[in-house]
Amino acid sequence: MRLTRRTFLAGTGAGAVGVAMGPWVLRSWAQGAPIKIGIVLPYTGVYAVLGESITQAMELVFE
């Protein structure tokens, strides 16, 4: 395969973009602070049982 000016410049440009984007890609893989999720549920009255059940289900989902 013959290396032309066009293929050389395309390869060099792609390599430069890869090197330049490296720090941002690696930084996005780092684990950040935990995310808090809030939910409004009934914990008193007639629907208290339902509120507790939903809370337990949410805890299982996010474990």
Distance between CA atoms of 34 and 58, rounded to whole angstroms?
16
Taking only the tens place, the pLDDT of each residue in 26-36 is 555 556 777 78
The number of CA neighbours under 13 Å toward the Cβ of 30 is 7
pTM above 0.75, yes or no: no
pLDDT the model gives residue 53: 92
Q: What is the DSSP letter of 34?
A: P
Residue 49 confidence class, pLDDT cut points 50, 70, 90: very high
Q: What is the DSSP letter of 58?
A: H
Tally the domains of the chain. Answer: 1
Tell me the residue range of the domain where 47 lies: 5-29+36-62
